[in-house]
Amino acid sequence: MIYLDHAATTPLDEKVLEAMMPFLKEEYGNPSSLHALGREARGAIERAREKIAQTLNADPKEIVFTSGGTEGVNMVHKGAAFSFHGKARHIIISAVEHSCVLECTDYLTNHGYSVTAVPVNAEGWVDPRDIQKAIRPGETGLISIMAANNEVGTIQPFGEIGLIARERNILFHTDAVQAYGKIPIDVQKYNIDFLTVSGHKIYGPKGVGFVYQRKGTELVPLIQGGGQERDRRGGTENVAGIVGMAEAAKKICADTIEPGRLRVMAQVFLEKMKEAYPDLKVNGPEDPEKRVPGILNITLPGIEGETLVHSLDGKGYAVSSGAACAAGSAPPSHVLLAMGRNPKQAREGLRFSFGRANTGEQARQLAQDMPSITQGLQMISSFLEGDDVKPHHL
């Protein structure tokens, strides 16, 4: 299997597993216990907090450990909204946010809050001027715009939006799950109040993540319990997961070579694909510098993305249609719809996300194999639609 779905999850780094092992075996103490085993676990958590804070130019006390990106988003959106105390009940998001943001704001809408989803352009990019227009003075309490889109890779102008929020005394959150470790993020420079990250997107373990919460901001805790995380998130900490995530964070943020390598690999693959498919469309920016390294979303007109995912899987390639859903019932991608695609086109997106283990040879091999994989699918599609479409060949 050649794995090209790193935007969905990444394999656990060997060094990360090595760092975790002591806390899965002999160092099993509860970090809230006062004895030696407990103190060792507590020390490991605090060292991990320091490592992660350094990658963001943050204070270690501003890092809150969670179970992942989805919990982090809920913690920020609901925690911030509940802290408004009825004063500022308007939230601004973009139309291409992750489903956890959309469902979270749907929940808040049903509980008396109002939400504005600003549009994006054909490349999936949010215009900061639209954020400015959407602000309701005295009412807007939170602006939440992702740093990079999970389906098409578009890097958002989160620094400009953070400044807009800061100047108007509005809280600003960015979902950095796809951006963290791939592009530089400085929470001070970009005026970020809240930031969410998931460990399994950075070659760390699943089931662990963190929230950056700027000093002086208020979040009503979602999980009450034994006072862990300075009363911000109750429950015994996942010590091994936290240690592993911190090791993964340190490694990925220190690697200045890999982002460029991934960009080149994705671009080489795209150029080879364009030779075979003249009508190929890139979903997202054509300029690779405007996409997060390694993510490429394309459309081969006439072939549903989910159908092609299954066909590629049968040939040993793991990719994604960009929309997580049950087989055979894929709804159109809300991201592609927001970018102006019609429902049919929004079902045709195919996401390739390259990672550390991938090579240029693998990318070239996939581009070479694609025509034989898609030929039958295109013929079936053209027959069903009554089109006179000729299959592509290299």
Q: What CATH number did the domain enclosing 339 receive?
A: 3.90.1150.10
Do 39 and 183 touch, CB atoms closer than 8 A?
no
Is residue 1 in a domain? no
Closest CA to 268 of 202, 179, 183, 365: 365
Task: Give the pLDDT confidence score for residue 381 in this predicted structure.
Answer: 54
Is residue 6 in a domain? no
Is residue 71 in a domain? yes
Task: Give the pLDDT confidence score for residue 318 in this predicted structure.
Answer: 97
89 and 25 together in one domain: yes
Q: Which domain holds residue 280?
A: 256-385
Query: Which of 254, 277, 307 delimits the end of a domain?
Result: 254
Angle between helices 239-254 and 36-56 (to 10 degrees): 30
Angle between helices 69-83 and 99-109 (to 10 degrees): 30
DSSP character at residue 10: -
CATH of the domain at 41: 3.40.640.10
DSSP character at residue 86: T
Number of domain units in the chain:
2
Q: How far apart are the first and last CA of the chain?
A: 23
Closest CA to 125 of 319, 348, 286, 346: 286
Helix (H, G, I), strand (E, B) or coil at 312: helix
DSSP character at residue 277: -
238 and 269 together in one domain: no
Is residue 9 in a domain? no
Q: What's the whole-model pTM score?
A: 0.93
248 and 260 together in one domain: no
61 and 179 together in one domain: yes
Query: Which of 196, 223, 254 delimits the end of a domain?
Result: 254
Do 154 and 291 touch, CB atoms closer than 8 A?
yes
25 and 80 together in one domain: yes
CA gap 107, 115 in Å, rounded: 10
Is residue 144 in a domain? yes
Q: Give residue 273's identity as a one-letter amino acid code.
A: M
Is residue 315 in a domain? yes
Do 233 and 72 touch, CB atoms closer than 8 A?
no
Q: Write out residues in the chain with pLDDT < 70, as ranges.
A: 323-330, 378-394
Question: Which token pair is 393?
Answer: 């060949």
Task: Give the pLDDT confidence score for residue 145 in this predicted structure.
Answer: 98
53 and 79 together in one domain: yes
Pairing of strands 209-213, 194-198: antiparallel
Question: Which token pair is 111?
Answer: 């509980």
239 and 360 together in one domain: no
250 and 260 together in one domain: no
Q: Which of the residues are catalytic? A: 325
142 and 235 together in one domain: yes
Is residue 84 in a domain? yes
pLDDT in tens, 96-149: 999 999 999 999 999 999 999 999 999 999 999 999 999 999 999 999 999 999
Closest CA to 52 of 238, 237, 185: 185
Q: Read off φ and ψ for residue 135, nearest 5 degrees.
A: -65, 135
233 and 267 together in one domain: no
Q: Give residue 217's identity as a one-letter amino acid code.
A: T
Task: Give the pLDDT confidence score for residue 331 in this predicted structure.
Answer: 87
DSSP character at residue 179: T
159 and 215 together in one domain: yes
283 and 150 together in one domain: no
Is residue 393 in a domain? no
Query: Which of 237, 254, 271 delimits the end of a domain?
Result: 254
Do 158 and 189 touch, CB atoms closer than 8 A?
no
